[in-house]
Amino acid sequence: MHDFEPKIVAFVCTWCTYAGADLAGTSRMQYPPNVRVLKFPCTGRIDPVFILRAFQKGADGVLVSGCHPGDCHYMAGNFHARRRFAAFRALLNFVGVDLNRLQFSWVSAAEGGKWVDVVTELTERVRTMGPMPEFKELEHEEQWSGAINTPELKEAYDSIG
Amino acid sequence: MNAKANKNHVTSIEPAYYEAITEAIRKEAVKILKNETVVGVVGYLPGRRKGTASPALVTTVEEAEKLIFSPACVNNLSVYLTKAKKGVLKQGKVGIVAKGCDMRALAGLMTESQLQREDLFIIGVVCPGVYGFGVQRTGTLTEENIARKCRECTVHMPEGADVAAGTHAELADLTPEEAEEMARIEAMPQTERWAFWKEHFSRCIRCMACRQVCPFCYCEQCLCDKNRPQAVESSPRPAGNMAWHLVRAMHLAGRCGGCAECERVCPMDIPLNLLNRRMAQELKELYDFEAGLTPVEKGPLNEYKENDDQSFIK
Ligand code: SF4
Ligand code: SF4
Ligand code: SF4
Ligand code: SF4
């Protein structure tokens, strides 16, 4: 049996966090290889639907990270994102998603070390939580039970006569 | 304001009250058509079956004299003025009959530059409530047949209309069912909450009626119809359904006026207004914003403050 290796998807902005992650790489800092990085022009471009998509497609944890407030390349993208994500978290919580699987961070281009910490911490946390089944299960479910020989359906067919 | 003290509390609302509103609406509609203030009035005509009403755009005095208001006037008419229903506003200024909850949608649409106040003549209705779904549509409105949203209504008395039809009356001591239901869901452990919504969303047949009827779903291309790349699976399967409902709730957050039309038209009885209300409550707590009867500069998710809470960001 294999040990559980969490899949982490990181949505990052190109100007700060991506550069920060790059710095961690060029500085040869070690961090868990569980993270898949997707680069965006700005945190403001990271639509909540991307996060859903990641969970649906098998992510056990998601990280969203961009520039610190005030450092946005487009002036206010991260301020807008901050409100949107606060609302989105509340929504996910209300439908019963464990928010510990979803992390938001500010990591600047100079913070290679912080990138390593954030990724390591999230990976370890998700590792102890285990796989995230909810969205994945939905992917494989059909609308109905999939069984077409239920008594109700049989009765319905019989009565068509 | 909605000072409770000024309200006339009763245990049932008799047809006579609606008849008085009907008279006032007719009088006003006739007047503004005659003096050419407006080119038409969006209101309600009697439906073909007894105890029903249909939305209509009336453009003549004869038609205006047939307008009605009754507990069957459930529709939010503001949807007829949006981009999605092209054309009504192109002819010129229009009149519209609006209950309090519909006025909220009008205000929201003005906020979003979809409507301009000067293009509208608003006949506000001092609304005691409308029928819920699946109830006996007899004359009197009582605690038994009133719509769920009307039990928690805070806008019986619409503000900012050009004229108001009706005086103040409302049913006494209604239990706020939606608030109770929401508290019940909040109290559930997380896994139960997931099971609750999963069951509801799994029944969704993706007929998109909830989107069609919503005044705020006026996008000419909905994210959920896009297929290159596909953001949200469009067939009625549980995965896509969950995504659709989360996207819908998110897109309506801070915008939804709470007319509950989405929930009313849902053929699968999915309690959509619980999600809407939850998001409204959330935005009130986070950003002290409530969709009200007056247009604002920007909605809560279209603006920001530098010192917004970011305790969740590590
Ligand atoms: S919510 Fe209020 S304004 Fe809207 S129909 Fe009910 S009572 Fe009337
Ligand atoms: S669901 Fe969203 S994208 Fe689609 S019409 Fe409504 S608001 Fe627009
Ligand atoms: S989301 Fe539903 S309750 Fe809100 S404005 Fe749209 S139709 Fe009305
Ligand atoms: S109206 Fe109901 S069944 Fe139709 S798409 Fe909306 S939630 Fe699904």
**Of the partner residues B190, B236, B250, the one whose CB lies closest to the CB of residue A96:** B190
Q: Does residue A114 belong to the interface with chain B, where contact is any CB pair within 8 Å?
A: no
pLDDT of B126-172, one tens digit each?
999 999 988 888 779 999 999 999 999 999 988 999 999 998 778 88
Top mutation candidate among B200, B208, B224 for ligand 4, by most atoms within 8 Å of CB:
B208
**Ligand 3 centroid to residue A142 C-alpha, Å:** 28
Q: Which of B168, B170, B161, B128 has its CA nearest to residue B28? A: B161
Q: Determine the average pLDDT of the residues in B273-285.
A: 96
pTM of this prediction? 0.91
**Chain-chain contact of B237 with A104 (C-beta, under 8 angstroms):** no
Of residues B83 and A18, the one with the higher pLDDT is: A18
Cis? peptide before B267, omega within 30° of 0:
no
Ligand 3, atom 6, lies closest to the CA of: B214
pLDDT of B7: 59
SS (H, E, C) chain B: CCCHHHCCEECCECHHHHHHHHHHHHHHHHHHHHCCCCCEEEEEEECCCCCCEEEEEECCHHHHCCCCCCCCCCCCHHHHHCCCCCCHHHHCCEEEEECHHHHHHHHHHHHCCCCCHHHEEEEEECCCCCECCCCCCCCCECCCCECCHHHHCCCCCCCCCCEEECCCCEECCCCCHHHHHHHHHHHCCHHHHHHHHHHHHHCCCCCCHHHHCCCCCCCCCCHHHCECCECCCCCCCHHHHHHHHHHHHHHHCCCCCCCCHHHHHCCCCCCHHHHHHHHHHHHHHHHCCCCCCCCCCCCCCCCCCCCCCCCCEC
Residue B195: the pLDDT is 95
B2 pLDDT higher than 50: no
Q: Do A139 and B239 touch (CB under 8 A)?
A: yes
Interface test with B, best of A12, A71, A78, A94 (most B CBs within 10 A): A94
A100: number of CA atoms within 13 Å, CB side? 13
- Complex-level ipTM: 0.91
pLDDT (average), residues B292-301: 90
**Average pLDDT over every residue of B270-293:** 94
- Residues within 6 Å of ligand 3 by CB: B 105, 213-216, 252, 256-262, 273, 276
Contacts of B286 in chain A (CB under 8 A): 83, 86-87, 90
In this prediction, residue A161 carries a pLDDT of: 59
The protein residue whose alpha carbon is closest to atom 6 in ligand 4 is: B210
The pLDDT assigned to B216 comes to 96
pLDDT of residue B80: 92
Chain A residues whose CB is inside 8 A of the B275 CB are 91, 94
- The pLDDT confidence band at residue B6, using thresholds 50, 70 and 90, is low
Looking at residue B133, what is its pLDDT? Answer: 87
* Cα–Cα dist A135/A52, whole Å: 8
How close, in Å, is residue A5 to chain B by CA atoms?
Answer: 23
B191 at interface of A, judged by CB pairs closer than 8 A: yes
Ligand 1 atom closest to B260 (CA): 1
Is B200 within 8 Å of B38 (Cβ atoms)? no
Across chain A, which has 161 residues, the per-10-residue mean pLDDT values are 86 94 94 96 95 95 94 90 96 97 96 96 96 91 62 75 59
- Considering only residues B282 and A147, tell me which one the structure prediction assigns the higher pLDDT: B282
Mean per-residue pLDDT of chain B: 92
Contacts of A143 in chain B (CB under 8 A): 202, 236-238
Quick one: pLDDT at residue B138?
79
Residue to substitute in B204, B232, B233, B275 for testing ligand 4 pocket (most ligand atoms within 8 angstroms of CB):
B204
d(CA B213, CA B259): 10
C-alpha atoms less than 13 angstroms from C-alpha of B104 in its C-beta half-sphere:
21
**Residues of B134-158 as b/e, b for ≥16 C-beta within 10 angstroms?**
eeebeeebbeebbbbbbbbbebbbb
Judge whether residue B255 has pLDDT over 60: yes
Does residue B241 have a pLDDT over 50? yes
Dump pLDDT digits (tens) for B173-190: 889 999 999 999 999 999
Nearest CA in chain A to B185: A94
Q: What torsion, rounded to 10 degrees, do the Cα atoms A48, A49, A54, A58 define?
A: 120
- Rounded to the nearest angstrom, the minimum Cα separation between A66 and chain B is 10
- Please work out whether the CB of residue B153 comes within 6 Å of at least one atom of ligand 1: yes
**What's the CA-to-centroid distance between B148 and ligand 3, angstroms?**
14
* pLDDT at residue B88, rounded to an integer: 76
Query: How far apart are the CA of B174 and the nearest CA of chain A, in angstroms?
Result: 26
Element (H, E) at A9: strand A8-13
Nearest chain B CA: its distance from A139 CA (Å): 5
pLDDT at B8: 66
